[in-house]
Structures are given as structure tokens and as C-alpha cells.
Amino acid sequence: MKVLLQRVVRASVSIDQTVVAAIEHGVVLYVGFGHTDTLAIAEKMAHRCAKARVFSDAEGKLNLNVVQVNGEILSISQFTLLADTASGHRPSFSPAMHPEKAQVLYDHFNTVLSSLVSVKTGRFGDHMVIDQVNDGPVSLLYESEVPHESIVGR
């Protein structure tokens, strides 16, 4: 599972030129699932994202999470986060989970998030146009499994 978290001033998602969800002050989460992801992983990731300290405290340090600043989350399904770009110019999406299975995990992820913070979503599987004003910018990539190569040399 991968989640790209971006702190925003505001964001909205449109489908067929109609805004279906919008937030002010919070984070946008782009969420993708791989073949080995589970409900437990989705739940753990939801807690990590809700508790991510990406907002500044009174001293300007990133010590506050979206809940503490009364922010909102806009959650967008994005299987392209799982793209294999290791070779060539055309990405392979074979690492992404099949849509029917991924939707179950995505719905669970959002249900868990909603128990912690206000969450709005796009529509799973639809073509969406995202309009967002990044704040900072602050962007973090959360992964359920860290590839072996990324921990070599630590």
C-alpha cells in the first residue's frame, strides 16, 4: 500500500465537470493498493495518516496532525502509485491490486479514517480532476512495505 499525503490550503475533486467533494485546510491522500495488502494494513495506514504530524505548532515545528488543527482529509484512490517504472518509458501497473479487491480495502481505509477525522472522497475507479493548493509544500510518501533497496546502507 502506498499513500501520498500532501498538506493543502484547499482541494476539490470533480467528475464530469461537477465537484463531488471539497475540503479547506487539511490533507489530500492519494491511495493505492498492491497485491499483498490487507484490511489490517489499510487500518494501520489510516491511523498513520490521521496522526501524521505535518502541521506547524506555535514554534513552527511540524508537531500537529490534521485532527489537532481541525482539518479535513480528501481521499483519492490512485492505483498509479503502484506503477513499476524501473525500465522503459511505459509504466507497468501489474503491481496494483485488482480493482474489486482494492475497492474493499479503500472503503475500509476511509471508514477507519472517518472515525478519526472528517473525510471526503472522490469516486473509486472514476476519472477525476483534482484541484488543490498545496501548503508548504509538504508531501510524504507512506508505504506499507519498504523495498529492500531503500534500506541498504542505513
Catalytic residues: 78-80
> Which three cell numbers mark 65?
496532525
Q: What amino acid occupies position 8?
A: V
CA distance 23 to 50: 15
Torsional class of 88: left (φ above 0), alpha (ψ -120 to 50), beta (otherwise)? left
Question: Quick one: how far is CA 102 from the chain centroid?
Answer: 14
